[in-house]
Structure 1
């Protein structure tokens, strides 16, 4: 016992000898488990342990019974529609980065969310394709896939493209890279290599994010301008892509450019309005839904469609995405102007 007395402390406690201390505080006998004992504990099974493992593998079984339908359902539906539309559009855009048919972008937007619904631990996260990974897979696909070619057939002076076989080969390469990456990631997770992320500085992550955004922006230029830009996979590919784009600026599809700028402007303005007036709006304006529905056709008369081939993705089995427009390469400037004037006069 310690008691303060002025500026001093008085310590009062019993004085022990070695024998007296040993009698009062006897040493406990510890049993060291062998490897066989640990193996028995790990391999044993009981109802409580099975339930715990099942809940850890399928967290939905724990939070779904406690879901408050009246309080959460409406908000979850609105947020789910908005997030789902963004995921679908990103999947279609990232499919172009991988150079595979856009329909596979729909699969990439749907199946990860479906799997995470049952196996995920967070109710407020949306998983799906990532632009940097899409570009990396696209570089592998461009390097290993054969160059696109056409096979000429002597029937009515026509040619048949073997795009279908090329697309199938590209899908096979992308799927192989995806499976191998998943196996490597699974092995790294089992070996607990996630600790490496702790040593990544904030400046490194910021620089990586900024560089990735620049690469994604440059990769989308050829789709906005409808230019034929070859795929590059070397370290300085971004400069080669920019050089190819700048040397072909005179071939820019004006309809593509105008369409892209209008959509970018509208989406940017509405996003700012949603952020600024979110307290007054009952639900955010679903600008993504508006941009991918038939209402977009109001911006483009039928005459422009017939002259510039403003075309939607009807080739995609369940596509809801407006494809970037294509100009008729066979028409000269005078023929294109004549086509536009004729169609306007007929209206």
Structure 2
């Protein structure tokens, strides 16, 4: 693998860290699953969605290499944006990253048990778990640990395959044992599968029923947000609640500036969960019957939080066809 020279004098923010993951559930051996040709793309998708949720979108980070040891997976991550790196650190420190990974792996592996993980985060020779509360020190360690490699060829192929699958709205297992040539040919068609609507709703030029909305090429029933939705959102959204709140501002006077900043200040000591909970609570109280699931999913999509949107919809592997 070609080595990279340090960019520490270029003026651009960049850094690197190693995330160690080990499952506490005997049936879920992460290194063995990653080595399995039939499960590799599933595990990679869970990792990708987890990092995207934690870092606040697809930008600002890149997976360079996935190492599979006898007991743990080690993901080498390159950060090219301080803001997204900070969001990742906060998600890691709060336990949000573990929660996201557990949910995504349960989905792609069809596991029913709750998943728990032992994790460790290192930058260079420093174990960041030892001083996670000192965010500035963690950022400095990551910045000092400049990326020393380009993206691994295997990771690049997995990224290409995953992108093709998501464009075509297919489940990762459909790509198992397919080579790069078949991946390229499948990516030429980006039209999602026809949604399961009544025949008269599938006719050309027809509109979705007023109580439905579309996500990733499929149609879902729209409904008012429930208390379960409320709690789930607050638990998984992390630092990105502000971005979602600003997207929900459209048509919601209760969330107009400076309401969101006021919530962040008022509930600062209570943590991200309470801040996100109170933001969505304002939305629910203000909008009443108009506080629909479709509006929340749209706000998540607008901010690139596709993994969280999937979790809000409880999308299971069988649904990604």
TM-score of the superposed pair, with normalisation by structure 1: 0.25
Q: Which has the higher contact order (CA 8 A, sep 6+)?
A: 2
Q: Answer 1 or 2: which has greater strand percent.
A: 2
Q: Answer 1 or 2: which has greater helix percent.
A: 1
